[in-house]
Amino acid sequence: MTLRDKVGQLFVCEVHGTGATTTTAAQATANHHLYGPDVGNGAQLLAKYHLGGVIYFGWAGNLAGPQQIAALSNGLQRAALSDPDGVPLQISTDQEGGVVNRIGAPLAVSPGNMAIGAAFSPRVAYDTAKAGGTELRALGITVDDAPVVDVNTEPANSADGPRSFGDDPATVAALGTAAVDGYRSAGVAAQVKHFPGLGDTTVNTDNGVAVTDRTRAEIMAEDVPPFRAAITAGVQSVMAAHIVAPALDPSGAPASLSRPIVTGLLRDTLHYDGVVITDSLSAAALGGIAPDRIVLDAINAGDDELLMPADLPSAVATVLTAVHDGTLSTARIDQSVYRILREKYELGLFTDPYTTSGAVGANVGTPAHLATMADAARRSMTLLRNDDRTLPLAAGRHVLVTGWGASPTTALAADLTAAGVSTRRLYTGSPDQAAIDAAVAAARATDVTVVTTYNAWGDATQRALVDQLLATGRPVVVVTVGGPYDLAYFPGARTCLAAYGYQPVTLSAVSDALLGTAPTGHLPVTVPDAAGDTTLLPYGSGLPGYGR
């Protein structure tokens, strides 16, 4: 491989387009903006920069349907291998399930990590990962940027929340390891994230700087165990977070750019020798650092793959210049390229990098995979209060469905109507007072109100809606479709169901729980009161059946 070939392997980037060689005018323009006037599609991008990997997004036009995705994957692989020294491509996406999910129906979509945590079953974690991984491999996607193995101990965590399996390190380790094994059995590499952990922060590094004030001992005891377990299980990829952890690196460097964290802790202490990829280098958390320093510091830290640099042409030039002037050694570049090529070899990409239309038809959205995800969602439903025996909904009751989420309220209302329940839907989202007044008036005129919330701990308008619905004195069922922490703000709510997500498979399970399928899930986290002073709902809470 030439030096330029090797440097290209270090980068994983997005590309706009539904096909490898064709794009719409808007997609071509987007590629020109990112990569230069001579790059209008994926094939041209790979020919020019010899990238090691591509990451798919819906907003980039990559994910229009299963057969289209498979054709795109094949086209990009052909482009990558068209050079005499061509190397197969790593193709990835963030198919976590739950609240972070790139590809929907007809794929079988997982209800998400916290839902799996509520089932308290490594087998469920394995089965959902295997089913999801099998479908991704049929689409030509060989790395899933999942699972999140952060231990979510901060209720106001805007980065993780329901993306986490829970707040107990041992449980998160067991479920994360099972998911890694499930992906491997499907021929897909798992990518555990976000090392060394984002679980105790409130800031999402996509939007700003996140700092943990935990001591080194606390980090090793609370955050690191799931990563250690995944490494022992043979995970092939670890994502380094942009979190600042002064106890691990007093310089204040983000973990992704920190040699004491990536090389010192991850490689030397935890003995991990697989691929390390950065979180997106376009994240706001890195906004105060010069782009050339980001690239060089990431490589010097020990990272192998650099995800989505803000300016790929400049980033490649920075690395080439550093090697030519001796700032970076070719041996250091070779070290990362070896790990990347080894991962691709282990995934079988050097012998068979392609998929087929038949593989899509045989493996995507199968009844068995759909049943696996439905079972996980059903097991996750967690009934936390049913003081007035409002659930299950009695026959003949008139129900109002209101609250956060256009899709969740639509799906729940449709399911209840299909079951013969007289149902009215009144979507409010984050409501103003006029919308709240309308919902309250509707609640007064109905038998039961089902109100959905999502991160209401950070949305005073959602809290006002629920409070004023409760003040009517009419029966209200609060359904949290994110983390269950919202319930700390509704101490007067007498009927509460934690659902952990809003994928269609989860909403079907919510409808079933409302109508008579007894919930069996338990909280995988502790819910403190709104002030954070005392425990409101202990870890493991969950009423047996309907609490009778």
CATH code of the domain in which 228 resides: 3.20.20.300
Residues 182 and 148 in one domain: yes
Bond from prior residue into 162 cis (ω within 30 degrees of 0): no
Domain CATH number, residue 437: 3.40.50.1700
Residues 30 and 165 in one domain: yes
Residue range of the domain that includes 445: 382-537
Residues 389 and 342 in one domain: no
Phi, psi for 429 (deg, rounded to 5): 60, -135
- How far apart are alpha carbons 182 and 179 in whole angstroms? 5
Residues 59 and 139 in one domain: yes
Asked if residue 405 is part of any domain, the answer here is yes
Residues 339 and 392 in one domain: no
Give the pLDDT score at 152: 97
Asked if residue 548 is part of any domain, the answer here is no
Residues 268 and 353 in one domain: yes
Residues 313 and 389 in one domain: no
Q: At which of 368, 401, 432 does a domain end?
A: 368
Asked if residue 11 is part of any domain, the answer here is yes
Asked if residue 98 is part of any domain, the answer here is yes
By the 10 Å C-beta count (0-12 exposed, 13-18 middle, 19+ buried), 78 is classed as middle
Query: Each residue of 199-223: pLDDT tens digit?
Result: 999 999 999 999 999 999 999 999 9
| Regions of the chain short of the pLDDT cut 70 | 548
- How far apart are alpha carbons 53 and 42 in whole angstroms? 11
Angle at 458 between CA 489 and CA 59, to 5 degrees: 135
Contact call for residues 364 and 66 (beta carbons, < 8 A): yes
Asked if residue 62 is part of any domain, the answer here is yes
Residues 88 and 206 in one domain: yes
- How far apart are alpha carbons 498 and 493 in whole angstroms? 13
By the 10 Å C-beta count (0-12 exposed, 13-18 middle, 19+ buried), 65 is classed as middle
Joined tokens for residue 374: 């439905």
Asked if residue 488 is part of any domain, the answer here is yes
What is the end-to-end Cα distance of the chain in Å, rounded? 68
Distances in whole angstroms, Cα of residue 417 to Cα of each of 399, 425, 445, 525: 9, 10, 18, 33
Bond from prior residue into 147 cis (ω within 30 degrees of 0): yes
Contact call for residues 342 and 335 (beta carbons, < 8 A): no
Q: Beta strands of 131-290 (E only): which ranges?
A: 143-144, 189-195, 237-240, 275-278
Asked if residue 493 is part of any domain, the answer here is yes
Q: At which of 368, 395, 428 does a domain end?
A: 368
Query: Each residue of 317-362: pLDDT tens digit?
Result: 999 999 999 999 999 999 999 999 999 999 999 999 999 999 999 9
Residues 70 and 136 in one domain: yes
Give the pLDDT score at 83: 82
Residues 185 and 319 in one domain: yes
Q: Which DSSP string corresponds to 362-388? A: HHTT-HHHHHHHHHHHHHH-EEEEETT
- How many domains does the chain fold into? 2
Residues 88 and 154 in one domain: yes
Residues 288 and 419 in one domain: no
Q: At which of 316, 338, 368 does a domain end?
A: 368
Asked if residue 544 is part of any domain, the answer here is no
Give the pLDDT score at 84: 80
Query: Which residues are within 8 A (CB) of 190 and not within 5 positions of it... i.e. 6 or more apart?
Result: 129, 144, 146, 147, 179, 180, 183, 184, 230, 235, 236, 237
